[in-house]
Structure 1
Amino acid sequence: MAKLVVGGGRVEVVLSQAERLAALRGDVSAALDEIADVQVSPHPFGELRGIRAPGTGVPGVIALGTWRHRGGKDFVAIYRRRPAVVVLLAAGCEFERLIVGVEDPDQTVAAIRAATGLVIGGA
């Protein structure tokens, strides 16, 4: 399962070897100062927008890879029945959002907020 790791001035989506194959790319990261907001999504499949290109997806079961939409693209690593963390990135970044299913989303959000100085409810 993917992990969101905060350190070295960045937040990084660390993928397992199998996830890298399914997503058709390696790990993804963003500088902490590029993070505009972060929140928990209890139903992350509702966050998906656009089409998968490239990546792997089975509706409601798994979504791994890049989702392209009119406004840009999101990086997604989510699984059935697992909440996710949604990281909204600043304009000009490779992705608009990182949507990642994690073991403890509340703790992950708190760690990212502490590292970035974001307050609950936005920047």
Structure 2
Amino acid sequence: MAELRQEGEELVLHLSAFEKAEAVHGDLRVPMAQVVGLSVVEDIVDQVQGLKLPGSRVPGWFAVGTFVQRGQRTFAVVHHDTPRGIRVRLRDAPYDQLLVGSADPEAVVAQLGGQVS
């Protein structure tokens, strides 16, 4: 399962070997200075929209990889068995947002210094 954590001055999205194959992508690293928001999202698999470029997706079941809609780039790692997750909004980064499924999104957001609402 994908894991978000801060390592020094970077936010790192660690992917499992299977997720790397699904996404056709490796782990992601983003400077913390580019993170502009963290929020808990319900039904996260339904939040992934747009054209898959590259990645894997079965709507309502899972979405892993890069998705583009109206110029917005999203990197998603979400599965149906983890219906809640985290939205990470980014500025001046290769992606506009990250969507990551999580068993305990409140704890992850709090650990990363975000406000849990």
Verify same fold: TM over 0.5. Answer: yes
- 2:85 equivalent in structure 1: 84
Counterpart position of 1:16: 16
Give 1:53 deviation, angstroms. 1.1
Q: Tell me, in whole angstroms, the C-alpha distance in 2 between the residues paired with 1:2 and 1:119.
A: 21
- 1:16-68 superposed Cα distances (whole Å, 9 cap, x missing partner): 11110010010112111111110010111232121111000011111000001
Query: Does the CA-based 8 Å contact 1:36-1:89 persist in structure 2?
Result: yes
Secondary structure of 2:21's aligned partner: helix
Runs of at least 5 residues in structure 1 that lack an aligned partner in the other structure? none
The answer to whether the 8 Å contact 1:4/1:102 transfers is no
Query: Which residue does the alignment assign to 2:68?
Result: 68
What is the aligned-residue RMSD (CA, Å)?
1.4
The one-letter amino acid of 1:68's match is V
Residue 110 of structure 2 contacts residue 116 of structure 2 at CA under 8 Å; is this kept in 1? no
Residue 22 of structure 2: SS of its match in structure 1?
Answer: helix
Return structure 1 stretches of 4+ with deviation > 4 angstroms.
118-121
1:3 corresponding residue in structure 2: 3
What is the distance in 2 between the residues matched to 1:4 and 1:85?
9
Q: Matched residues in 2 for 1:10 and 1:27: separation?
A: 12
Runs of at least 5 residues in structure 2 that lack an aligned partner in the other structure = none
Is 2:53 the counterpart of 1:29? no
C-alpha contact (below 8 Å) 2:38/2:109 kept by paired residues: yes
